[in-house]
Every structure is written in structure tokens, then in C-alpha cells.
Amino acid sequence: EADIYQTPRYLVIGTGKKITLECSQTMGHDKMYWYQQDPGMELHLIHYSYGVNSTEKGDLSSESTVSRIRTEHFPLTLESARPSHTSQYLCASSDGAVRGYTFGSGTRLTVV
Amino acid sequence: GDSVTQMEGPVTLSEEAFLTINCTYTATGYPSLFWYVQYPGEGLQLLLKATKADDKGSNKGFEATYRKETTSFHLEKGSVQVSDSAVYFCALSDNAGNMLTFGGGTRLMVKP
């Protein structure tokens, strides 16, 4: 039973389209994170939020944007998708990093 | 800053072999340490954790001991199965409890 949900699981879209990747959690966690995972497996933090109306950019520069209007919801938007955005995107949440993160199942995005 | 170094993969073993995946870290203070596992096409799942020196985390036959003197948290399993084939990530928490720092991941392949 997943407590953090990502939709869609797989997405193939054309260049120039606007897309939103959804991430929702039911655990009431304040902290949420977006990672981009390249084929070499390494995780790159692209956005994070420590609460409602608080968002920050991560270590890896990304053309995506995020919002945090509700505690449970942390969507990621690409205004104009490009082939270089093809990747796996993982969402995670936490009520304190000392207890670890809970990850969603990921969205695998392919831009053609 | 904090960092985590894992042995490079892939690690290829025969079924029932002994597994060790090395993980060392650099951090200030007393971080919590974690191992996550990622099965193909999925997000990361927490495998085990340890919160202080000399603690041993264990789950599903996997073990890791928090060694502060060697700044290590090596993952071990006495007898691997084909179903253990996955990518394994070592991670540590920052002192503020806001963020995890991940290693680069180690792919394990177990052959029948």
C-alpha cells in the first residue's frame, strides 16, 4: 500500500509540450523532494519544499518548476519539454530526514 | 559538505554467495545512516537504517553496522538470491534532519 503516489507512471510526449508530473502523499509530511535519476542510476535533487508555500531549487539545475499549495501535493511542471528532459523523476517525502524518506514509484518521461 | 561513497558496480554474484557492498561517508556531527533498494522500474525503498554509532540495522537478511571510527556502513548478506538483484543506495541525514545525501548507487546482479 503506497503512501506517496506519482502519476503518470510512464509518459511519452512530443517536444514543446507542457507537462505536469503529479506527486501526492497521505502521511502529512512537511518535507517533499523531487529527484531526477539518470540511466547511470545517480540521483540528482532538482527541487525541495519544507512546507506550504516554500520551494527551493536543488543541486542540479532544472528547467522545471514546482509548487506547494497544499501539504499533500507537490507537482512538477515543464513548460516546454525537450528530449534532454527524458529521464526518470522520483518524488519523496519525509517528516524528518533522520527517519528517512518515503519514495513514490516514479514517472518515466520520454520526450520525442 | 556531507558526502557518501559507494563501491562501483555492477556486482555480479552467484545465488547463495556472500554479499558486501562498501559504503563510507564524510559528515559533521552524528548523522543517521540508511540503505535503500531500488528494484527495476520502481522507486527507492528503505531497506535498513542505523541512528548512532555501533547500531546494527537489519532487514530481509541484510545487515549493516554503523562504524564511526571508520566512517563506514557496509551492507552485507550471507546468502543472496536472484530476487535481490537491484540497485542499492547508501545515504546519510544532515544534522538539521532536512535532507538525505545519497551515494551513487551499486547495481547487484545475482545469477542462478
C-alpha cell at A21: 508530473
C-alpha cell at A68: 506547494
| Four-residue CA torsion sign, B50, B1, A86, B6 | negative
Burial of residue A90, with CB atoms counted within 10 A of its CB: 0-12 exposed, 13-18 middle, 19 or more buried: buried
Interchain proximity B87–A41, CB inside 8 Å:
yes
Using the predicted structure, report yes or no on whether residue B58 has a pLDDT greater than 80.
yes
Q: Which amino acid is at B73?
A: F
Question: How near does any CA of chain A get to the CA of B93, in Å?
Answer: 6
Q: Mean pLDDT throughout A65-85?
A: 96
Using the predicted structure, report yes or no on whether residue A5 has a pLDDT greater than 70.
yes
Secondary structure of residue B84 in the 3-state scheme: helix
With CA atoms as reference, the chain B residue closest to A29 would be: B98
pLDDT tens-digit profile of A9-57? 999 999 999 999 999 999 999 999 999 998 878 999 999 999 999 999 9
**Cα dist. A70→A25, B85, B91 in Å?**
10, 37, 28
Closest residue by Cα to residue B44 from B8, B78, B91: B91
Q: Chain B residues with CB inside 8 Å of A92's CB?
A: 43-44
Interchain proximity B107–A92, CB inside 8 Å:
no
